């Protein structure tokens, strides 16, 4: 049996608009999503309204003891969010000011997808390539 899942993520509406129009290609998390998670389902952080979906293309882990180091400036450039705002979004990492790269951060490369694409990706049988074309 193949198990696939999604990760529900609360974000600001303006961040979703940047993802939807291709200006924002990365989602930053301080907790790793499940390995079976194929997509993010984004909801408005204020209202809970469904905003849209994005397929997870890849994940890069920074920090911790076995991964590349990171800096606030580097992550800021990748996710297009000012450093001060990132520190508010990740207060635990911000408290580790002396050695922030010891804290693990997970950077997900994403691309927006429709609800139909999300459902197809979750329920399509990978053994049947004809499902993709028709």
SS3 122: helix
Whether residue 43 is predicted with pLDDT greater than 80 in this model: the reply is yes
Is 99 a residue whose pLDDT tops 90?
A: no
Tell me the per-residue pLDDT of 23-32, one tens digit each, with 9 for 90 and over. 999 999 999 9
CB of 59 closer than 8 Å to CB of 53: no
Average pLDDT over residues 103-124: 91
CB-side neighbour CA atoms (13 Å) of 101: 10
Where do the domains of the chain lie, and which CATH numbers do they carry? 5-127 (2.30.130.30)
């Amino acid at each position: 049996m193949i198990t696939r899942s999604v990760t529900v993520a609360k974000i600001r509406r303006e961040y979703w608009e940047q993802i939807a129009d291709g200006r924002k290609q990365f989602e930053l998390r301080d907790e790793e999503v499940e390995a079976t998670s194929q997509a993010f389902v984004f909801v408005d952080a204020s209202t809970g309204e469904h905003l849209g979906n994005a397929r997870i293309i890849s994940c890069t882990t920074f920090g911790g003891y076995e991964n590349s180091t990171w800096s606030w400036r580097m992550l800021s450039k990748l996710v297009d969010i000012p450093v001060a705002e990132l520190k508010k979004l990740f207060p635990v990492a911000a408290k580790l000011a002396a050695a922030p790269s010891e804290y693990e951060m997970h950077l997900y490369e994403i691309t927006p997808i429709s609800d139909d694409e999300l459902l197809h990706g979750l329920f399509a049988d990978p053994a049947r390539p004809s499902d993709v074309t028709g």
